[in-house]
């Protein structure tokens, strides 16, 4: 089993340069750097977190440009995700900006949104989630993601938890700028620390929302 030693400066330098020269020629010339300093650490991290969180799925570096005006062929970040038993996601990303971590339900399906809004509307369950997210915010874990501009249909605009009702995602995120520890095994502690801190929120989501049962084609 390969040992996880974080991502070296060369990994971040690769993405800094790729932002300036996003070409096939540059990528092919620096693909060994990607394999050694970006992909290999993700694979080593996956072995470490698999038992507690599940194995990571590392996404391919190529962009899907079929429906995009931006025809840049390569992503300027590398990221991976795994999913817990309650349907929650655990996300880790490396880019020139540093390390990004997240966990929760991202872009809930229609059936999930229905259950989520009913739970938020409930005084006991909704207040509990509001308190959990406030506690996480103190730990610099912020709930991010797109939402509605007003209350969803069927709920009053002056609902005491209207901000929560507007969410389409319940996922906390934390960003770490480049630092020396990122190129050491200490990066593991930061990653699992954020994921473990999100557990109260994920437990709430598993209890009150759960994974979607809709066919993928029906999800919005």
pLDDT per position as a tens digit, 96-148 = 999 999 999 999 999 999 999 999 999 999 999 999 999 999 999 999 878 89
Q: What are 50's two structure tokens?
A: 């698999």
Pairing verdict, β 142-144 and 170-176: antiparallel
Burial letters 58-75, b for 16+ CB under 10 A, else e: beebeeeeeeeeeeeebb
Phi, psi of 10 (to 5 degrees): -60, -30
Q: What is the pLDDT of residue 216?
A: 63
What mean pLDDT is predicted for residues 42-50? 97
Average pLDDT, the chain: 94
> With pLDDT > 90 as the criterion, what percentage of the chain qualifies?
85
- Residues 183-209: pLDDT tens digits? 999 999 999 999 999 999 999 999 999
pTM to 2 decimals? 0.92
78 pLDDT more than 50: yes
- Residues 146-168: pLDDT tens digits? 889 999 999 999 999 999 999 99
Q: What is the pLDDT of residue 67?
A: 80
Which is nearest to 140 in space by CA: 102, 104, 105, 168?
Answer: 102
């Amino acid at each position: 089993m390969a040992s996880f030693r974080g991502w070296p400066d060369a990994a971040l330098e690769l993405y800094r340069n790729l932002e300036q020269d996003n070409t096939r020629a540059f990528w092919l010339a620096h693909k060994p750097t990607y394999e050694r300093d970006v992909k290999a650490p993700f694979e080593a991290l996956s072995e470490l977190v698999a038992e507690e969180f599940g194995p990571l799925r590392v996404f391919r570096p190529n962009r899907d440009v079929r429906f995009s005006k931006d025809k840049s062929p390569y992503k300027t970040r590398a990221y991976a995700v795994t999913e817990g038993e309650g349907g929650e996601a655990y996300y880790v990303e490396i880019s020139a900006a540093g390390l990004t971590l997240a966990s929760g339900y991202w872009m809930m399906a229609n059936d999930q949104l229905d259950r989520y809004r009913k739970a938020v509307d409930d005084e006991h369950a909704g207040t509990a989630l509001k308190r959990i997210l406030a506690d996480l915010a103190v730990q610099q874990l912020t709930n991010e993601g797109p939402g509605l501009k007003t209350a969803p249909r069927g709920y009053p605009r002056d609902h005491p938890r209207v901000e929560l009702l507007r969410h389409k995602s319940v996922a906390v995120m934390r960003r770490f700028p480049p630092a020396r520890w990122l190129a050491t095994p200490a990066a593991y502690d930061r990653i699992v620390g954020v994921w473990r801190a999100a557990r109260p929120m994920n437990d709430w989501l598993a209890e009150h929302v759960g994974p979607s049962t809709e066919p993928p084609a029906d999800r919005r």
